[in-house]
């Protein structure tokens, strides 16, 4: 009875998350205060969003701009052959640096190593993609003209 009564009180049970709105709220109130270039954000969701995917894509990209890396922990990766078919999943993918499985204790225990490995790979990729410093051009000669006696 207690479970049935609780479920009756929850208006949006089983209807998907409102991830876009939640990210928007976080971005407005907290992102600039608590995130920085060295911050790794772990986003734990299946990506099955019920709102406008444009909002989700925009706010996920905004979140990514405020942190060092955005790692998506997706419990749906436990399914072999998982494909990003849901609109929310496709909206999130461009903003994340990695999508890792998180569905059991084993995947959780491997999470620190996976994050550290990804951070090293990301740093190496950024170093390779960084523009090479330009060599200084020799300054024009500033020979003094001296008057000949």
Q: What are the residue ranges of helices labelled H in the chain? A: 2-9, 19-26, 32-34, 53-65, 87-92, 105-109, 111-129
The two tokens of residue 147 are 């008057």
What is the C-alpha to C-alpha distance for residues 63 and 27, in angstroms, rounded to an integer?
A: 6
DSSP state, residue 104 = S
What are the C-alpha distances in Å from 98 to residues 63, 73, 117, 122, 129? Answer: 14, 8, 11, 10, 18
Residue 137 binned pLDDT confidence (cut-offs 50, 70, 90): very low
Mean pLDDT of the chain: 82
Residue 17 binned pLDDT confidence (cut-offs 50, 70, 90): confident
DSSP state, residue 10 = -
- Residue-wise pLDDT for 30-61, tens only, equals 999 999 998 999 999 998 888 889 999 999 99
Q: What is the pLDDT of residue 30?
A: 95
CB 40 within 8 A of CB 68: yes
- Residue-wise pLDDT for 84-99, tens only, equals 888 889 999 999 998 8
Q: Which residues pair with 74 in a beta bridge?
A: 101
Least confident of 19-23, 34-38, 81-85, 100-104: 81-85
């Amino acid at each position: 009875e207690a479970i049935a009564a609780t479920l009756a009180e929850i208006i949006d049970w089983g209807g998907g998350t409102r991830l876009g709105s939640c990210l928007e709220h976080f971005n407005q109130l907290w992102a600039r205060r608590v995130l920085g270039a060295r911050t790794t954000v772990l986003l734990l969701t299946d990506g099955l969003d019920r709102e406008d995917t444009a909002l989700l894509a925009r706010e996920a990209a905004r979140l990514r701009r405020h942190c060092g890396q955005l790692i998506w922990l997706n419990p749906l990766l436990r399914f072999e052959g998982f494909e990003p078919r849901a609109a929310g999943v496709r909206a999130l993918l461009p903003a994340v640096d990695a999508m890792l499985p998180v569905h059991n204790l084993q995947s959780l225990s491997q999470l620190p190593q996976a994050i550290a490995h990804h951070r090293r790979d990301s740093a190496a990729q950024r170093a390779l993609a960084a523009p090479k410093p330009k060599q200084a051009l020799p300054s024009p000669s500033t020979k003094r003209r001296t008057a000949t006696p």
